[in-house]
Structure 1
Amino acid sequence: MGKIVLENIKLFGFHGCMPEEKYVGSYYTIYLEIEVDFHNVFINDDLSKTINYVDLYSLVKEEMNINSKLIEHLAQRIIQRIKKKFKKSLVKHAKIKICKENPPLQGNVDRVCVILDDYC
């Protein structure tokens, strides 16, 4: 077993419940961790036997372009797409952390984050 980790993906999106969030948008930082069975990769040194992190990044970017009111909903959509796109025998566990930078709060808060852990 092993993990593929994409750290600090920085994307811009229009997620939120407040009307201005749909027009102004915000920056997001995403951490994605996928637990993968690397057994065949160790033997074959073949990209088709694992999950290509370029594909993972593209998937996250595509989902970020679809507006959600809640980043919890966005996190679940990303995990569901990963489970659907990649072989179930490869993905054992997926974890995502999505942070909204500079959230529209009445206080000094750098970011708000949600974390979703999913055992596939």
Structure 2
Amino acid sequence: MGKIRVNNIRVHSNHGCLKEEMLIGSDYRVDLEIHANLSKPSQSDKLSETVDYVHLNNIVKEEMAIRSNLLEHVAKRIVDRIFLELTMVDKAEVEVSKINPPMGGDVESVSVKVEYSR
């Protein structure tokens, strides 16, 4: 078993329940950690035998481009796509953070983290 992390994927999107968030959008950060058996690619040195982190990054960018009210919903969609497209992945943890959320206070970010296993 092994882990692959893709940290601090930065995107701009229009998630949220407030009208301003839907129109103007906000900046987001996404962090991924996936678990898979990495013993074969560690021996073979073949990209085709591992989880391609470029593919992971593309899944995140594509799912973040689809507007949702809740970060929980976006995070679950990302996990669902990972499990659908990357059969090697046994477990996925996704954290979606809204940077500088419109909360009427000085808040750096709010985050939702989900973890699912096959």
TM-score of Structure 1 vs Structure 2, range by shorter chain = over 0.9
The sequence identity of aligned pairs, in percent, is 42
- Equivalences for residues 72-83 of structure 1 within 5 A: 72-83=72-83
Residue 13 in structure 1 maps to residue 13 in structure 2: yes
Residue 26 in structure 1 maps to residue 33 in structure 2: no
Between the aligned partners of 2:43 and 2:111, the Cα distance in structure 1 is 38
**Deviation at 1:43?**
2.5
Between the aligned partners of 1:3 and 1:21, the Cα distance in structure 2 is 34
For each residue in 1:17-70, what CA deviation from the matched residue of structure 2 results, as whole angstroms up to 9, or x when unmatched? 011111110000111000110121123211111110001101100001100000
Between the aligned partners of 2:25 and 2:4, the Cα distance in structure 1 is 29
Residue 117 (structure 2) aligns with: 119
Between the aligned partners of 1:42 and 1:79, the Cα distance in structure 2 is 24
- What is the letter of the counterpart of residue 119 of structure 1? S
Query: What is the DSSP-based 3-state SS (H/G/I as helix, E as strand, rest coil) of the residue aligned with 1:115?
Result: strand
Between the aligned partners of 2:24 and 2:5, the Cα distance in structure 1 is 30
Between the aligned partners of 2:42 and 2:82, the Cα distance in structure 1 is 22
Unaligned 5+ segments in structure 2 are none
Corresponding residue to 1:108 among 101, 106, 109: 106
Between the aligned partners of 1:62 and 1:51, the Cα distance in structure 2 is 18
Between the aligned partners of 2:60 and 2:68, the Cα distance in structure 1 is 14
Query: What is the DSSP-based 3-state SS (H/G/I as helix, E as strand, rest coil) of the residue aligned with 2:19?
Result: coil
Residue 93 (structure 1) aligns with: 91
- Size of the aligned set, in residue pairs, is 118
Between the aligned partners of 1:31 and 1:40, the Cα distance in structure 2 is 25
Query: What is the DSSP-based 3-state SS (H/G/I as helix, E as strand, rest coil) of the residue aligned with 2:98?
Result: strand
- What is the letter of the counterpart of residue 54 of structure 1? V
Task: List structure 1 runs of 4+ shifted beyond 3 angstroms.
Answer: none
TM-score by length of 1: 0.95
Between the aligned partners of 2:38 and 2:67, the Cα distance in structure 1 is 34
